[in-house]
Amino acid sequence: GQQVMQIPQYQHVQEGEDFTTYCNSSTTLSNIQWYKQRPGGHPVFLIQLVKSGEVKKQKRLTFQFGEAKKNSSLHITATQTTDVGTYFCAGRGGGTSYGKLTFGQGTILTVHP
Amino acid sequence: KAGVTQTPRYLIKTRGQQVTLSCSPISGHRSVSWYQQTPGQGLQFLFEYFSETQRNKGNFPGRFSGRQFSNSRSEMNVSTLELGDSALYLCASSSTLTDTQYFGPGTRLTVL
Give pLDDT, residue A109: 97
Give pLDDT, residue A95: 59
B6: Cβ–Cβ under 8 A, 6 or more apart, which residues?
B21, B22, B23, B24, B89, B90, B91, B104, B105, B106, B107
Contact check, Cβ <8 Å, A42/B106 = yes
Amino acid sitting at position A52 = S
* Cβ contacts of B98 on chain A, cutoff 8 Å: 48
Q: What percent of chain A has pLDDT over 70?
A: 96
Contact check, Cβ <8 Å, A106/B59 = no
3-state secondary structure of A94: coil
| Calpha distance B14→A4 (Å, rounded) | 33
Instruction: Give me the mean pLDDT over the B61-81 stretch.
Output: 97
Contact check, Cβ <8 Å, B48/A104 = no
Give pLDDT, residue B21: 98
Residue (of A112, A110, A113) closest to A10 by Cα position: A110
pLDDT digits (tens, 9 = 90+) for A37-89: 999 999 999 999 999 999 999 999 999 999 999 999 999 999 999 999 999 99
Strand partners, B43: B37
